[in-house]
Amino acid sequence: MTGFGKAVTIFEGNKITFEVRSLNSKQIDITLKIPSNYKDKELELRSLLVNNVMRGKVEITLTIEDSRLNGKTVINEAAVKSYYDKVCQIAAKTGMPEPKDPYQWLFHIPDVLSSESVQIDENEWDTVKKTITEALAEFGNYRQNEGKVLDIFLREKIANIANLLREIEKYEDERIEKIKSRLTEDLLLIQNKIGLDKNRFEQEMIFYIEKFDVSEEKSRLACHLDYFLQTIDPKEESNGKKLGFIAQEMGREINTLGSKSNHSQMQKMVVMMKDELEQIKEQILNVL
């Protein structure tokens, strides 16, 4: 959801600049910085933005370098006199010296200086909207380019998890045989002391080994990987939340694989899969 767009237009000697920036956010959150004489256009501007920006923390800046304001700064003389008189009264009461250069602080008071409000006509507003449209188009292109890079990254990480999942298969038979051997050796040590029911032993062995079977987890994880790749297909407009849910399910299966593995190499593969998945989760925040 990160993005940036900017457009500049000259209208009757005035420079119009529009910038749009966005960062990750679960909802759409628009902050507007616009000239005071454009406040009555705020609702129309927000509507235009909502139609083009689906989600994200969006900062909008519209600046107008208006030549019509040159030489039209207004000084509020009544305010200047009022502030100066009050300062002099305070100085007389407290014995504090009066300020040597009152103009240095008087003109920093907000309501002392102001600019004449310039009304905007429809031609100017149409030009501003055209500038906004150009900036939003650049904003969209920026996000599309970011999306292409992100698509490659996510597919690569999914492929890495799939490869690690195939690597796990190499150790499954070895893992089961080790479990069988260890149990058999332990039982042989006590065979002379107690009777051993071989049929019961085989049943218990099967039950015990089934607890370590990871075939279902592997199958579900493989399905989640395929579904993830289907979901990042660009045919649908907004898939970020869905990808997040799929990643959560992938994490559950990977965690179960780790808890059932009981094998050092398999656990190593699981740790590597978790690392790949965490990188996926971080980047999913950038997907609408």
Q: Which domains does the chain have, with CATH numbers?
A: 3-68+120-143 (3.30.230), 73-114 (no CATH), 147-284 (no CATH)
**25 contacts 3 by C-beta, under 8 angstroms:** no
Average of pLDDT values for 59-83?
A: 72
Which pLDDT does position 163 carry in this prediction? 94
Give the list of residues 6+ apart from residue 31 with CB closer than 8 angstroms, or none.
57, 58, 59, 60
Least confident of 36-40, 103-107, 219-223: 103-107
Residue of higher predicted confidence among 57 and 68: 57
Check whether 235 has a pLDDT greater than 70.
Answer: no
Confidence of residue 201 (pLDDT cuts 50, 70, 90): low
Beta-carbon contacts of 70 under 8 Å, excluding residues fewer than 6 positions away, are none
Tell me the average pLDDT across 154-161.
94
pLDDT of residue 146: 85
State residue 275's pLDDT score: 95
Highest mean pLDDT out of 89-103, 147-161, 200-214, 249-263: 147-161
Phi, psi of 68 (to 5 degrees): -70, -15
pLDDT at 279: 93
pLDDT of residue 272: 94
pLDDT band at 114 (very low <50, low <70, confident <90, very high): low
pLDDT score, position 71: 45
pLDDT at 70: 47
Q: How far apart are CA 235 and CA 267, in angstroms?
A: 37
Q: Which residue has the higher pLDDT, 215 or 245?
A: 245
Give the type of residue at 255.
N
Quick check: helix, strand or coil at residue 59?
strand
- Higher-confidence residue: 222 or 186? 222
* Structure confidence at residue 192 (pLDDT): 57
- String of DSSP letters for 64-77: EE-GGGTT-EEE-H
Name the band, by pLDDT with cuts 50, 70 and 90, for residue 191: low
Average pLDDT, stretch 3-15?
A: 86
Least confident of 180-184, 201-205, 237-241, 260-264: 201-205
pLDDT score recorded for residue 247: 93
Q: Which of 58-72, 105-119, 204-218, 223-237 has the lowest average pLDDT?
A: 105-119
List strands edge to edge, sheet with 14-23.
3-11, 14-23, 56-65, 28-33
